[in-house]
Amino acid sequence: MISRLEQLKLGALKELDLITDAKEMELWRVNYLGKKSELTGILRSLSSLAVADRKSVGTVANRIRTELEDSLNKKKCNLREIQLAAATREENIDVTLPGRPLPTGRLHPITKTINEVSEIFNSMGFQVTSGPDVEWNYYNFEALNIHDDHPARDVMSTSWVDIKADKNRGPMLLRTHTTSVTARVIESQKPPIRVVEPGRVYRYEATDATHTPMFHQIDGLAVDKGITMADLKGTLYEFARRFFGEGRGVHFRCDYFPFVEPGVEMAIECLVCNGRGCRLCGNTGWLEILGAGMVHPRVLERGNIDPETYSGFAFGMGIDRLPMLRYGIDDIRQFYSNDLRFLSQF
Amino acid sequence: MKISLKWLREYVDITLSPRELANRLTMAGTETEGMQCIGENWTGITIGEITGISPHPNADRLKLVTIDLGSEQTTVVCGAPNTSIGSKVAFAPVGAQLIDGHSGEAFRLKSAKIRGITSNGMACSEKELGISDSHEGIITLPDEAPIGTPLADYLGDVIYDLAITANRPDCLSVIGVAREVAALTEQQLHLPDTSYIEAGHPIEQQISVEITAPELCSRYCASLITGIRVTDSPRWLQQRLLKCGMRPISNIVDITNYVMLEYGQPLHAFDYDQIQGRKITVRRAAAGEKITTLDGLERSLSPDMLVIADQKRAAAIAGIMGGIDSEVTDGTSSVLLEAANFNPASIHRTGSALNMPSEACTRFERGIRPELVDEAIRKATKLIIELAGGQAARGLVDVYPNRQEQEPILLTNEKIRNLLGIDFSTNRIVAALNSLGFTCRTATNPSGVRATAPYWRSDIKQEVDLIEEVARIIGYDKIPTTLLGTTLPSQNPEPMVKLKQMIRCHLRGYGFQEIVTYSLTSLELLGKLLPASSIEPPPLRMANPMTAEQEYLRPNLRANLLTTLYSNRKHEDDSIRIFELGKVYLPRQNDLPDEPEILCALLSGPRQSRSWHEGDNPVDFYDAKGTVESLINHLVTNLDFEKSSDLSLHPNKQAAILIDGNKVGIVGEIHPVVREAFDICEPTYLIEFNVSTLLPFTTGHKMFRTIPRFPAVVRDIALIADRGISHRSIQSIIEDTDLVTKVTVFDVYSGGQIPAGKKSLAYRITFQSPDHTLTDDEVDKVQQQIIGKLSRELGATLRS
């Protein structure tokens, strides 16, 4: 009986080996492992065998059944693998064709620059605030020590709004700098103050490659007890380091703005020639980036902040120039002509 | 201001290289905007004297010129018309670098045979040396020019172009800059001698001066020189003026300009014999008073302008320009020289009103000190005697009604420390201030100094002004670099800043390109949006528009976006999605305009970028609406739409955007008439909403909702309804039923087997209970309720 079983197994395995599809495999299963198969018959008839044989035949028959089942499973897996491999071979695509496009939008380079600059100052505790584009003469000029006949007005040619002047705040104009927001913050907030004020500014100027009637600036202000010019230098140096990169030379020189004293101008090593001197930097090796200074005591007084107790610094810079320098853009009008072939590059 | 280094050297020893000096001045506030080195490339060029001239054997117009160079003689071929024996010339040997007289290009002189004769170099013109554009003849140097000396030593110079800040009119002068240099390099200043012999009659017997408008003229000083001869100025004087960018006119006029450049005090010379009545009155102009100025133009004056008048008429507009009647001419023999101080604001207004900017005007309007007058008038008088002959009257006329002394200002060590963040010793502070001409007395309790500004400084008014002086002389680089250590202000970001940021980011993600357009626009452009919608309320107009395109403040963003779409359509036929998030300007009574932040977006062209994957289905209303839904659903939950009537939009393809029943914006197709007015060919969809009015709905936090624990049952139903029945009305009925948690329309169809006038709508409904698993019976019951209600209220039936 045992030898019959072994013979059965050998025959079954040999047959299994030759099987190539699922149908044959099912037939094979019915044939060798099904209810009516010889093996099942033998296992069912074990009870009729002599006690001595029952154990030995039973053991062998059960082992063979397990072996056949395992082989079947293995064969199944094998066969599936072969099938999938064949199917996969058939699925052939041209991977050099372009992918399905997702819609790609972009922010305007000016917005991106404002965001980047604002984030740097945010991380130093400066919060973004804003003020009106259409402004009173008072906040744009008077509150900042720029009286009507101040020579500084000549370089800030103003666009005036055709509307009756206010008794106290003077004529209405388009702000010539975002420093007007500084004047408003000094009037409306109490120290400690740390703000940055990005926005549109306007000049009454003819348009050319370096001038547009509208452009963007960001001003900043910090006021508290004990703020010094050393803090001004440190804050602006940190900005320059993060925006223009580690290792770029920065210097602070004396300059004049009516609303600060001492007045400061910050320059960085030229991005084109790295300080050797070229056309962009007018052979000086330096690019002027921003104006700054310690807030003038009279400006603080106008906002009812006591300059004997509090001090502060203010700064302001042109936004448009930053991407112009960074990307080598030579015509500021590009920002406002909104040609998608230009905008899609940023 | 242009400053010659050679001139500067007359007052101060220069211890730095020209470039180092420029840098030092720049760092301390006098910015060097440009630097021109004259004679930088004159290697080998020397001064020679013509000792012989003979005709060229082969050319009529050329000569052979022998030049004595001291150590040797050389002969050159020369075509210049102005060669003469004894002339001092600039000789360039072979190898010298010159500028080509015709092309203006730099070249190196080569040995050459000219018509058969070898020339050993050449005698140069001013243009060839790069001094000026003069190329009519060779340069002839003054007789005292030393033979054999390098030309660079004799004529070389560095011209600085300095940007003088508005607070430092004293630096609009060579002596002013020399004072800065002396302070910055710790050198002594040498001031010129201004004494002269007063040989004439006492001045008060010959002229009197009265100031009737002392508020506009704080000082008027005059000298009188008789018996002069008006000629050209000597070469050295002309050269100095030219280097500073001024044109020589005559010795008298040149002297007034020269002294203005030297001291920063404007002067004016009158022909004394033309002054009627021998009396000067400094008065306000009469209304409508006329004067013909030196430039030959007749000017009409007003009473806020100041004139220098004789007994008959205005002889000059004070501080702006002289009158032609009293102009110094070739026939002038006596000169009345004026040095005065005028009110800065008045000069500024007069200069702007008459549109007559001038060097004098620039100095007066920045507020120079009246004390500058003293030295300047003496120096000019001295120069006139020396260069034009004549005698100076004894004494000066000096009317000085508004004398204002410089007051001492207390500067404490503590204030320096508090403002600069560094301690400077009193000695160091005093040294810095002294170097600038301040007088200092040390003070104790509080410790510091009492400093009085020198007479020429008009910008020192309070303690911080002194602090800047100390800081810039010691150097801003000596101030330490620290980060803010003060209290961090409470961090409450402006909600609008955050909201704008979020909207921009979402739209970018949806494939929109941000644009930024001008705030100023024209009525013509706004009119293209259909007149009725664009004119109310009338936009704010500029009083001084630069161009017609920039005349009005924009009341909407649409016009600019449509213009941008049009201009990009010229080169782009693919999908275009653009947006701008910016302010519009809406007039308000007696106040600044309202400046709400508006989002405006346009969609046009294919729905997806053209690719090999999809067809080119064009965008439609639902792309625009879907954008609004995605965008606003991020922020609020109670978004709704209703029919609207914006005249710039297609009457049947537009909807108002509502939040909690408040209208915040609109979405729709641009009206074909408007579209064509902007030359746009394809259907274009607009999204526009007021971000400012959206803001109140976006504050506060959303609350978390538990994920349902019991399974949902999903059923699909198909309905037939009249075409006029809106999806919104069906959806509301389904949504308002118990256990319904979600309704989605997934098919809308008409035509084919659907009866005329009807449409088919298919909905997927999700049923869910928060507290148990629903049975089929329960769902069936609810579904029947829904179908019943739809049928009763809307006449909609199940599609069989």
Cα A74 versus chain centre, distance:
52
CB contact under 8 A, A228 and B493: no
Min Cα distance B738 → chain A (Å) is: 39
DSSP string, B385-414: HHHH--EEPBS-EEE-S---PPPPEEEEHH
CA distances from B543 to A139, A173, A174, A177, A179 (A): 19, 9, 11, 19, 23
Which helix (H) or strand (E) segment is B151 a member of?
A: helix B151-155
Find all residues with CB under 8 Å of B154, minimum gap 6, and list them: B47, B141, B145, B146
Q: B484 contacts in A (CB within 8 Å)?
A: 124-125, 194, 222, 227, 231, 234-235
Q: What gap in Å lies between CA A223 and CA B670, rounded to an integer?
A: 49
Which tokens belong to B631?
A: 């965008």
> Which of A110, A112, A149, A186 is the best mutation test for B, with the most CBs of B within 10 A?
A149
Q: Quick check: B717 and B783 in contact, CB under 8 A?
A: yes
Which tokens belong to B346?
A: 């008045």
Min Cα distance A2 → chain B (Å) is: 57
Min Cα distance B648 → chain A (Å) is: 23
For residues B115-123, give the mean pLDDT. 87
Selection from B152, B155, B158, B106 nearest residue B127 by Cα: B106
Q: What gap in Å lies between CA B46 and CA B167, rounded to an integer?
A: 44
CA distances from A292 to A221, A231, A235 (A): 10, 12, 11
Q: A115 contacts in B (CB within 8 Å)?
A: 501
Which pLDDT value is given to residue B740? Answer: 94
- How sure is the predictor about B636, in pLDDT bands with cuts at 50, 70 and 90? confident
| pLDDT tens profile A39-83 | 888 888 888 888 888 888 888 889 999 999 999 999 999 888 988
CB contact under 8 A, B542 and A255: no
Find all residues with CB under 8 Å of A66, minimum gap 6, and list them: none
Selection from B639, B645, B646 nearest residue B694 by Cα: B639
CB contact under 8 A, B484 and A149: no
| pLDDT tens profile B34-55 | 888 888 889 899 999 999 999 9
Find all residues with CB under 8 Å of A279, minimum gap 6, and list them: none
Positions of E strands within A279-346: 286-295, 311-318
User: Strand A134-136 relative to strand A172-174: parallel, antiparallel, unpaired?
Assistant: antiparallel
Selection from A102, A101, A106, A115 nearest residue A346 by Cα: A106
For residues B586-606, give the mean pLDDT. 95
Map out the domains of chain A as residue ranges: 2-90, 109-343
Q: Does B106 touch chain A (CB under 8 A)?
A: no
Which tokens belong to A238?
A: 């940190």
Find all residues with CB under 8 Å of A112, minimum gap 6, and list them: A323, A346
- Could you give the percent of chain B with pLDDT greater than 90? 77
Backbone angles phi, psi at A12, to 5 degrees: -60, -45
Cα B535 versus chain centre, distance:
33
Q: A200 contacts in B (CB within 8 Å)?
A: 519, 582-583
Query: For residue B758, which amino acid is it?
Result: K
User: Strand B684-690 relative to strand B740-749: parallel, antiparallel, unpaired?
Assistant: unpaired
Find all residues with CB under 8 Å of B718, minimum gap 6, and list them: B747, B760, B761, B762, B763, B798, B799
Q: What gap in Å lies between CA B684 and CA B675, rounded to an integer?
A: 8
Q: Is residue B711 over pLDDT 90?
A: yes
Cα B227 versus chain centre, distance:
49
ipTM: 0.88
| pLDDT tens profile B251-293 | 999 999 999 999 999 999 999 999 999 999 999 999 999 999 9
Q: A279 contacts in B (CB within 8 Å)?
A: none
Q: Quick check: B481 and A237 in contact, CB under 8 A?
A: yes
- How sure is the predictor about B535, in pLDDT bands with cuts at 50, 70 and 90? low
Find all residues with CB under 8 Å of B85, minimum gap 6, and list them: B50, B51, B52, B53
Instruction: Verify cis geometry, omega within 30 degrees of 0, for the bond prior to A192.
Output: yes
CB contact under 8 A, A130 and B497: yes
Q: Does B210 touch chain A (CB under 8 A)?
A: no
- How sure is the predictor about B442, in pLDDT bands with cuts at 50, 70 and 90? very high
Which pLDDT value is given to residue B2? Answer: 94
Which pLDDT value is given to residue B531? Answer: 66
Q: What gap in Å lies between CA B185 and CA A215, rounded to an integer?
A: 40
Selection from B471, B410, B479 nearest residue B436 by Cα: B471
For residues B676-702, give the mean pLDDT. 90
Cα B73 versus chain centre, distance:
57
CB contact under 8 A, B467 and A261: yes
HEC secondary structure over B1-65? CEEEHHHHHCCECCCCCHHHHHHHHHHCCCEEEEEEEECCCCCCCEEEEEEEEEEECCEEEEEEE
Architecture of the domain delimited by A109-343: 2-Layer Sandwich (3.30)
Alpha helices per DSSP H over B264-410 = 344-353, 359-365, 372-388
Q: B518 contacts in A (CB within 8 Å)?
A: 213-214, 336
Q: In this complex, which of B348, B484, B542 lies closest to A160 when CB atoms are compared? A: B542
Q: Does B601 touch chain A (CB under 8 A)?
A: no
Q: Is residue B533 over pLDDT 60?
A: no
Cα B96 versus chain centre, distance:
42
- How sure is the predictor about B705, in pLDDT bands with cuts at 50, 70 and 90? confident
| pLDDT tens profile B192-206 | 999 999 998 999 999
Q: What gap in Å lies between CA A275 and CA A248, rounded to an integer?
A: 9
CA angle B566–B568–B574, rounded 5-degree value: 105
Q: Is residue B786 over pLDDT 60?
A: yes
Find all residues with CB under 8 Å of B287, minimum gap 6, and list them: B302, B303
Find all residues with CB under 8 Å of B581, minimum gap 6, and list them: B500, B503, B504, B514, B597, B598, B599, B600, B691
Q: Is residue B188 over pLDDT 70?
A: yes
| pLDDT tens profile A56-66 | 888 888 999 99
| pLDDT tens profile B768-778 | 999 999 999 99
Q: Quick check: A202 and A172 in contact, CB under 8 A?
A: no
Name the residue with tokens 């989002």: B599
Positions of E strands within B384-506: 391-392, 397-399, 409-412, 439-443, 448-452
Q: For chain B, give the mean pLDDT.
A: 93
Q: A105 contacts in B (CB within 8 Å)?
A: 507-514, 577
| pLDDT tens profile A229-288 | 999 999 999 999 999 999 999 999 999 999 999 999 999 999 989 888 888 888 888 999
- Could you give the percent of chain A with pLDDT greater than 90? 70
Q: Is residue B341 over pLDDT 90?
A: yes
Min Cα distance B421 → chain A (Å) is: 5
| pLDDT tens profile A171-215 | 999 999 999 999 999 999 999 999 999 999 999 988 999 999 999
Q: Does B355 touch chain A (CB under 8 A)?
A: no
Q: Quick check: A259 and A300 in contact, CB under 8 A?
A: no
Q: Within a 10 A sphere around the Cβ of B175, how many other Cβ atoms?
A: 25
Q: Is residue B455 over pLDDT 80?
A: yes
- Could you give the percent of chain A with pLDDT greater than 70? 100
Q: Does B411 touch chain A (CB under 8 A)?
A: no
Which structural domains are found in chain B, ordered by start? 2-39+159-185 (3.30.56.10), 46-155 (2.40.50.140), 203-399 (3.50.40.10), 409-478 (3.30.56.10), 495-698 (3.30.930.10), 713-798 (3.30.70.380)
- How sure is the predictor about B534, in pLDDT bands with cuts at 50, 70 and 90? low
